[in-house]
Structure 1
Amino acid sequence: MDDEAGFREFVAARLAQLSRVAYLLTGDHHKAEDLVQVTLVKVARHWRRVSAAGAPDAYVRRALYHEHVSSWRGKRVPETPTADPPERATGRDESAEAVRRIVLRDALAKLAPGQRAVIVLRYFEDLSEADTADALGCSAGSVKSQAHHALARLRVVAPELAELIEDAEVPA
Structure 2
Amino acid sequence: MTSSERVSEIVAELASTRGQDLITLAYLLTGDGDEAEDIVQAVLARLLGSSSIARATNPFAYAKRAVTNEFLDRRRRLQRRARALVILRSEPATIGSVDTPIAERDALLRAFAVLKTRERACIVLRYYGDWDDASIAAAIGSAPATVRSLVSRALPRLRAALEQSEAASTPASSTEGDQ
Matched, 1:74 2:77: yes
In the alignment, what sits opposite 1:115? Answer: 119
Aligned residues: 144
Amino acid at match of 2:21: Q
1:22 aligns with 2:23: no
Partner of residue 169, structure 1: none
Q: Give 1:120-135 correspondences, 5 Å limit.
A: 120-135=124-139
Cα deviations by residue, 1:40-76 (Å, 9 ceiling, x for unpaired):
1111112x54235331011111111111111122279
CA offsets, 1:86-130, max 9 Å, x none? xxxxxxxx8443333222112112211111111101111010111
- Retained in 2: the 8 A contact 1:107–1:157? yes
Q: Which amino acid aligns with 1:42?
A: R
Q: Which residue of structure 2 lines up, in the alignment, with residue 141 of structure 1?
A: 145
Partner of residue 67 from structure 2, selected from 58, 64, 69: 64
Match in the other structure for 1:156: 160
Structure 1's consecutive aligned runs of 4 or more residues displaced over 6 angstroms after TM superposition are none
Q: Give the 3-state SS of the residue equivalent to 2:130 in structure 1.
A: coil
CA distance 1:125–1:33, shift in 2 (3 Å): same
- Offset of residue 154 of structure 1: 0.9
Matched, 1:55 2:48: no
Which of 10, 15, 29 is the matching residue for 2:14? Answer: 10
Partners of 1:155 and 1:161 within 8 A in 2: no
Instruction: Tell me the percent identity.
Output: 34
Partner Cα separation in structure 2 for residue 100 and residue 150 of structure 1: 19
Matched, 1:41 2:45: yes
Aligned 8 A contact 2:133 2:147 in 1: yes
**Relative to structure 1, is the Cα distance of residues 7 and 120 closer, same or farther in structure 2, using a 3 angstrom cutoff?**
same
Give the letter aligned to residue 13 of structure 2. E
Distance 2:78 2:109 in 1: 24
Over the aligned positions, Cα root-mean-square deviation in angstroms equals 2.5
For residues 99 and 164 of structure 2, the distance between their equivalents in structure 1, rounded to whole angstroms, comes to 16
